[in-house]
Amino acid sequence: MSDVVIDVRGLVKNFGDLKVVEGLDLQVRKGEICGFLGANGSGKTTTIRMLCGLLAPDSGTGTCVGHDILTEPLQIRRQVGYMTQRFSFYEDLTVFENLDFVARVYEMRERKRAVAAILERMGLADRRDQLAGQLSGGWKQRMALAACVLHQPELLLLDEPTAGVDAKARREFWDLIHDMAADGLTTLVSTHYMDEAERCSRIVYLAGGRIVVQGGPQEVVEKSGVVTFEARGEGVEKAAKALRATPGVEAAAVFGEMLHVAGTDLEALRRSLASVGAGLDWKQVPPRLEDVFIHLLTAQEKP
């Protein structure tokens, strides 16, 4: 049996004259955590909705969890857990009641035992009788994740699941995802957080409804052609402002007393640092995934 959980080719989706997804090819293997990156409007959410059978593509072919995306959307939805950007459960029901409702929808046998088990696994047992509307953002997301995996799906589709959640809750959420990946659960997750993207086994970057870059996080960084320099000292804010307007500099960001500069033209970057950045002690450093992300966004914005 194939270990490819998502295998789609040539996906196209338009809304009137607006082209959202154009000829997208995507393959994701069992147990993989695949990060979906891209600017707002790049087609991430639309792609996810097509994969889980909620939206029919205008053209294209392929399978998701072994079922045809065009003819078997109902079968796909039974084997997929989909977490939307917004909390979409009943705030006037308790955590247990919400999960019990989901178990009823999936017609699960021994549903109360299944709900009790997922409450324990997700660390929600102490909050089973708390109203969902009274949960903090992090606990709401944890409950939503519990609802997504309650029916033991083969695939998780997460659309910016930790937006607005604090750093500790985000880390704990991702620990849960990795624990489930170790058990063979496949995950496709869209995110704007670079620390989350770095925790993915593979990342896929969308621009204009097409995949422009994909690979492991370190592989994407190494193939990007982005060059970065850093300097510490007084006056870094003034230097950053001046450098942003010079040739070769795509980004100049201040972190405390440190100035981080990125570009793809090494010689032009060096000339700018020697002139505008004179007086600072520059050293070349390895680029970060965030540098690559900003580079891709900048390239996308150019006419």
pLDDT tens column, 99-114: 999 999 999 999 999 9
pLDDT confidence tier of residue 13, bands split at 50, 70 and 90: very high
Asked whether residue 303 is assigned to any structural domain, the reply reads: no
Same structural domain, 240 and 213: no
Same structural domain, 275 and 197: no
Same structural domain, 143 and 206: yes
Same structural domain, 69 and 204: yes
The pLDDT of residue 41 is above 60: yes
Same structural domain, 235 and 188: no
Q: Which of 53-57, 261-265, 280-284, 296-300 has the lowest mean pLDDT?
A: 296-300
The pLDDT of residue 27 is above 80: yes
Asked whether residue 155 is assigned to any structural domain, the reply reads: yes
Asked whether residue 291 is assigned to any structural domain, the reply reads: no
The pLDDT of residue 140 is above 60: yes
Same structural domain, 45 and 189: yes
Asked whether residue 301 is assigned to any structural domain, the reply reads: no
How is residue 193 written in tokens?
């957080």
Minimal CA–CA distance to 216: which of 227, 196, 202?
202
pLDDT tens column, 141-152: 999 999 999 999
Query: pLDDT at position 302, please?
Result: 61
Q: For the whole prediction, is pTM greater than 0.85?
A: yes
Asked whether residue 188 is assigned to any structural domain, the reply reads: yes
3-state secondary structure the chain: CCCEEEEEEEEEEEECCEEEEEEEEEEEECCCEEEEEECCCCCHHHHHHHHCCCCCCCEEEEEECCEECCCCHHHHHHCEEEECCCCCCCCCCEHHHHHHHHHHHCCCCCHHHHHHHHHHHCCCHHHCCCEHHHCCHHHHHHHHHHHHHCCCCCEEEEECCCCCCCHHHHHHHHHHHHHHHHCCCEEEEECCCHHHHCCCCEEEEEECCEEEEEECHHHHHHHCCCEEEEEECCCHHHHHHHHCCCCCCCEEEEECCEEEEEECCHHHHHHHHHHCCCCCCCEEECCCHHHHHHHHHHHHHCC
Asked whether residue 294 is assigned to any structural domain, the reply reads: no
Question: Tell me, what CATH number does 269's domain have?
Answer: 3.30.70.100
Same structural domain, 71 and 113: yes
pLDDT tens column, 161-219: 988 888 898 999 999 999 999 999 999 999 989 999 999 999 999 988 899 999 999 99
Same structural domain, 149 and 215: yes
**pLDDT mean over 226-235:** 92
- The parent domain of residue 259 ranges over 227-286
Query: pLDDT at position 63, please?
Result: 96
pLDDT tens column, 239-277: 999 999 999 999 999 999 999 999 999 999 999 999 887
The pLDDT of residue 299 is above 80: no
Same structural domain, 237 and 104: no
The pLDDT of residue 49 is above 90: yes
Question: Tell me, what CATH number does 214's domain have?
Answer: 3.40.50.300
Last residue of a domain, one of 196, 221, 246: 221
Same structural domain, 23 and 56: yes
Asked whether residue 134 is assigned to any structural domain, the reply reads: yes
Q: How many domains does the chain have?
A: 2
